Amino acid sequence: MTDQTPAVTADHPPEKLLRLVNPLLRTLLGTPLAGALRNQLMVMNFKGRKSGRQFSIPVSAHHINGALYALGSAGWKHNFSGGADAEIVHQGKTTKIHGEVISDPPVVAELAHRCAQDYGVKKAQTMMGLKFRDNQIPSIEEFREAIDREKIVAVKFTPR
């Protein structure tokens, strides 16, 4: 009998852990104390498009084809629908950026696949918050299925 588990599934840290770690990351990522995390993570600072409330959220920073992206399915992604200005703290620097949601599943699948290839199997799963069933880089089609199921988008950040 074949395994019916999807090839790619979401595998995020528990919410309680994020509530404890995120405030620390928001502070550390702007300092040299963060070490290598400064290159792997970024803090997005933006206003809610409906509420106007200020948000500061640490996420994985993905460098794909020379551009900076965040991949995710969390609620923050909606704030970049239609494009939005924000600031990011990445590599110890604060940069004004414009974030644009990419939601076209074939495009997001290609970006996720490229990202996973660049990281390698183990690091990709950690950095992307995903679990790969067969402990190998999933195909673009397998990523596509996960993107449809998990509602994953890419947000491309460009300096302004």
Domain ranges of the chain: 8-159
Amino acid letter, 82: G
pLDDT band per the 50, 70, 90 thresholds, residue 51: very high
Does the pLDDT of residue 13 top 90, yes or no? no
What are the residues facing 90 on neighbouring strands? 42, 93
pLDDT at 131 over 80: yes
* CATH class in words for 8-159: mainly beta
DSSP 8-state assignment for residue 77:
G
pTM for the full predicted model? 0.92
Angle at the Cα of 157 from the Cα atoms of 33 and 100, rounded to 5 degrees: 140
pLDDT in tens, 88-101: 999 999 999 999 99
> Average pLDDT over the chain, rounded to whole?
94
* Count of CA atoms in the C-beta half-sphere (13 A) of 152: 29
Overall average pLDDT of the 117-131 stretch: 97
- Per-residue model confidence (pLDDT) at position 9: 96
Give the pLDDT score at 2. 57
Mean pLDDT of 67-91: 96
For position 4, what pLDDT does the model report?
83
